Structure 1
Amino acid sequence: MIRSPENGPSPSPVTADDLGLAVQLAVAVLRKAPPAAWKGMAGSLEWDCWETVEHLSDDLFAYAAQLGPRTPPLDGEVPFVWERRRPGGPANAVHADRAAGPAGLLQVLEACGALLVAMVRTTPPEARAYHGFGISDPEGFAAMGVVETLVHMHDLAQGLGLAWSPPADLCSRVLARLFPNAPSATDPWPTLLWATGRAELPGHPRLTTWRWDGRPRMTESSIPG
């Protein structure tokens, strides 16, 4: 585990409520998208906006599934079949029925978000499950879901022509949980975009590769005396 900084109070944990808020804020903004805009590309991604929401839904579903077994796997992902609908598209287990239109797509996003919220609420905090960026705990998977939602909403807002600026305190908590070495003197939302390779910060060029650290944090109260 990673020890929290010794100076200053420990950051507040990321909760299921944080994840639920992130998803609901995202859905509320996405409902404003013009129907014709969903075929446009999502920011700097190689996916269109519809595919990006499917990918985000799939992320939330996959994190929920990873916590689902009575003994979560520590050596790999729960073996769903992930497949691409076109070359270069996202490899998903979750695909929305296009006949249901954007409203159906957003129902898929809400449903997958609710699955992860429920799993984070009900999984014992001492549980651990595999992720490629570090074996993690329920709080870590909640933080991953928040980051996926906030950052892919940035991509989607660019592609759909929508405004998106998530709460600073939410960004601060997921930065502390997953990106403990990110700059701390800059605004949280631009810093999260920098940490995920989507923006520059003063004195910090845009990253060409990045990853978070999902391993549980070790707080002072959890350190044996």
Structure 2
Amino acid sequence: MSHAHEPAGPVTADDVRHAVRLAVATLRGAAEADWDARAGSLEWSCWETVEHLADDLFSYAAQFAPETPPLDDHVPFAWVRRKPDGPANVIFAERRLGPAGLLSVLEASGALLVAMVRTAPPDVRAFHVFGVADPEGFAAMGVVEILVHTHDVAEGLGLAWEPPADLCARVLTRLFPDAPAGTAPWPALLWSTGRAALPGRPRLTTWRWHGAPRPVGTP
């Protein structure tokens, strides 16, 4: 598989930290916007989508935190929905503190994933519905969640959002072996996650990533 500007090397804790910082800096530009607006093509509001993103990052960090991480299910937190069609989360933000508080929750959850990726032994494995993964896999999954959900929220809030090509390329290489070759990384990632069409490639209605660790010797 070949992507424009594709770099060598794994997805790292620094990539997660960088993605979180970029997302928060962008979303802070809409403090006065309607955060109950629909987030892009999702059924959730912008507020709910950021809560879901924070919950993803928290749960990814927690998934390989136990001494013996689970290989057949999630760590059994009690996920709940605050409304029938909302996301099922462990993490929620205090609404009275507004977007600033919500983004603080996002930063905190992101920092937990950064810390776990940085400190977990590389041979640890933990369950994810898209395949048992290693810390790098969870880092890559976290970055994808950040990039595409920030895209969703930015659409709902009327913000511009285009993450760095090298960051997109690293997660494409790690998680999406069938991503289109010869396409710029950000459009390729949007296509791979069912958010955009490409010339000759209709928008996907179902999609998944592949979180299994790279074979030994893969760059």
Q: TM-score, normalised by structure 1?
A: 0.93
Match of 2:106, SS state, is helix
Which of 181, 187, 190 is 2:187 aligned to? 190
The runs of 4+ residues in structure 1 deviating greater than 2 Å are 219-222
Q: Tell me what 1:49 maps to.
A: 46
Structure 2: which amino acid aligns with 1:216? P
Structure 2: which amino acid aligns with 1:175? L
Residues in 1 aligned to 2:105 and 2:189: alpha-carbon distance in whole angstroms? 26
Question: What is the deviation of 1:10?
Answer: 8.7
Residues in 2 aligned to 1:44 and 1:74: alpha-carbon distance in whole angstroms? 32
Q: How does 1:26-105 map to 2 (within 5 A)?
A: 26-105=23-102
* Structure 1, 116-125 or 33-42: larger mean CA deviation: 33-42
> Structure 1's 221 and 110: CA in aligned 2 closer, same or farther, altered over 3 A?
closer
Write out per-residue CA displacement over residues 127-152 of structure 1, whole angstroms, 9 at most, x where no aligned residue: 00000000000000000000000000
Q: Tell me what 2:115 maps to.
A: 118
* Structure 1, 166-175 or 177-186: larger mean CA deviation: 177-186
Residues in 1 aligned to 2:31 and 2:217: alpha-carbon distance in whole angstroms? 49
Residues in 1 aligned to 2:155 and 2:17: alpha-carbon distance in whole angstroms? 23
Residues in 2 aligned to 1:156 and 1:185: alpha-carbon distance in whole angstroms? 28
Residues in 2 aligned to 1:141 and 1:195: alpha-carbon distance in whole angstroms? 18
Counting matched residue pairs gives: 216
Write out per-residue CA displacement over residues 30-80 of structure 1, whole angstroms, 9 at most, x where no aligned residue: 101042421111001111111000000000000000010011100100000
- Does 2:159 correspond to 1:162? yes
Question: What is the deviation of 1:101?
Answer: 1.1
Q: Tell me what 2:21 maps to.
A: 24
Q: How does 1:171-186 map to 2 (within 5 A)?
A: 171-186=168-183
- Does 2:136 correspond to 1:139? yes
- Does 2:212 correspond to 1:215? yes
Question: What is the deviation of 1:119?
Answer: 0.2
Q: Tell me what 1:150 maps to.
A: 147
CA RMSD between the two structures: 1.7
Residues in 2 aligned to 1:12 and 1:162: alpha-carbon distance in whole angstroms? 31
Write out per-residue CA displacement over residues 105-146 of structure 1, whole angstroms, 9 at most, x where no aligned residue: 000000000000000000000000000000000000000000
Write out per-residue CA displacement over residues 138-172 of structure 1, whole angstroms, 9 at most, x where no aligned residue: 00000000000000011001000000000000000
Q: Tell me what 1:199 maps to.
A: 196
Q: TM-score, normalised by structure 2?
A: 0.95
List gaps (5 residues or longer) in structure 1: none
CA contact (8 A) 1:34 1:160 kept: no
Residues in 2 aligned to 1:154 and 1:125: alpha-carbon distance in whole angstroms? 30
Structure 2: which amino acid aligns with 1:44? S
Structure 2: which amino acid aligns with 1:14? V
